[in-house]
Chains A and B, each alone.
Chain A
Amino acid sequence: MEKGILKETKSKRRKVYLTGDDAIAEAMRQINPHVVAAYPITPSTQVVEAFARFAANGEVDTEFVAVESEHSAMSACVGAAAGGGRVMTVTGSQGLAYMFEVLGVASGLRLPIVMAIANRALNSPLNIHGDHSDTMAARDMGWIQLYSENGQEAYDNIIQAIRISEHPKVRTPVLVGIDGFQTSHMVETLTVEPDDAVKRFIGAYIPSYPMLDIDNPILYGAADKPDYYMEHRRSNLEGMIHAPEIIRQIGREYGELTGRHYGMVEEYRMEDAEYAVVIMSAVAGSVKDVVDQLREEGVAAGLLKVRAFRPFPVEEVISSLSRTKCVAVLDRCGPGGAQGGPLFLEVRATLYEEESRPQVINCIYGLGGRDLPQRYIRDVYLRLREIARTGERGKLVDFLTVRE
Chain B
Amino acid sequence: MKKQELKKWHELPIGGLILDMGNSAEYQTGEWNPNQVVWHEDTCTQCFLCWINCPDAAIKVKDGKVIGIDEYHCKVCGICVEVCPTKPNSLEIVSKETA
Chain A residues in contact with chain B, CB under 8 A? 108-111, 171, 208-209, 217-220, 222, 224, 227-228, 230-232, 234-236
Known: A231-B8, A234-B9. A108 touches B21 (CB 8 A): no
**Residue in contact with A111 in the complex, picked from B9, B15, B19, CB distance below 8 Å:** B15
Q: Is B99 an interface residue (CB 8 A)?
A: no
CB distance from B18 to the nearest CB of A (A): 4
- Pairs of residues from A and B, 10 with the lowest C-beta to C-beta distance, nearest first: A110-B15, A219-B18, A231-B9, A234-B9, A109-B15, A217-B21, A232-B16, A235-B9, A235-B12, A110-B14
Indicate which residue in A227, A228, A230, A236 contacts B15 across the interface (CB closer than 8 Å).
Answer: A236
B16 to A108, Cβ gap below 8 A?
A: yes
Give A236 to B10 CA distance when docked, in angstroms: 10
For residue B1, which residues in chain A have a CB less than 8 angstroms away from its CB?
Answer: none
- Cα–Cα, bound, A219→B10 (Å): 19
Task: Tell me, rounded to whole Å, the shortest Cβ–Cβ distance linking B39 to chain A.
Answer: 30
| CA A208 to CA B6, docked complex, whole Å | 25
Instruction: Point out the residues of chain A lying under 8 angstroms from B62, CB to CB.
Output: none
CB–CB B15/A219 < 8 A: no
A232 to B17, CA, bound (A): 10
The residue on A at minimum CB distance from B23 is A219
A108-B16, A110-B14, A222-B17 given; 8 more Cβ-contact pairs under 8 Å: A218-B17, A218-B18, A219-B21, A220-B17, A231-B8, A232-B9, A235-B10, A235-B14
Q: Which of the residues B6, B10, B15 comes within 8 Å of A108, measured between beta carbons?
A: B15
Q: Is the interface of A mostly helix, strand, loop or mixed?
A: loop
Contact B6 A222 (CB under 8 A): no
B7-33 vs A, CB cutoff 8 Å, 1 = contact: the mask equals 111101011111101000000000000
A257 to B28, alpha carbons, bound, how many Å?
A: 56
* B18 contacts across to A, CB distance below 8 A: 218-219, 222
B17 engages A219 (CB within 8 Å): yes
What distance in Å separates the Cβ of B65 from its nearest Cβ neighbour in chain A?
Answer: 30
Chain B nearest CB, measured from A121 CB (Å): 33
Can you give 29 contacting A-B residue pairs, CB < 8 Å? A108-B16, A109-B15, A109-B16, A110-B14, A171-B14, A208-B14, A209-B15, A209-B17, A217-B21, A219-B18, A220-B15, A220-B17, A222-B17, A222-B18, A228-B6, A228-B7, A228-B12, A230-B9, A231-B7, A231-B8, A231-B9, A232-B9, A232-B12, A232-B16, A234-B9, A235-B9, A235-B12, A235-B16, A236-B15
B14, closest chain A residue (CB): A110
CB-based nearest A residue for B6: A227
User: How far apart are the CA atoms of A111 and B9 in the complex, in Å?
Assistant: 19
A219: chain B residues within 8 A (beta carbon)? 17-18, 21
Q: Which of A110, A208, A220, A231 is packed against the most chain B CB atoms within 10 Å?
A: A231
Query: How far, in angstroms, from A224 to B17 measured CA to CA in the complex?
Result: 11
The distance in angstroms between the C-alpha atoms of A286 and B10, with both chains bound, is 46
The residue in chain A whose Cβ has the minimal distance to the Cβ of B18 is A219
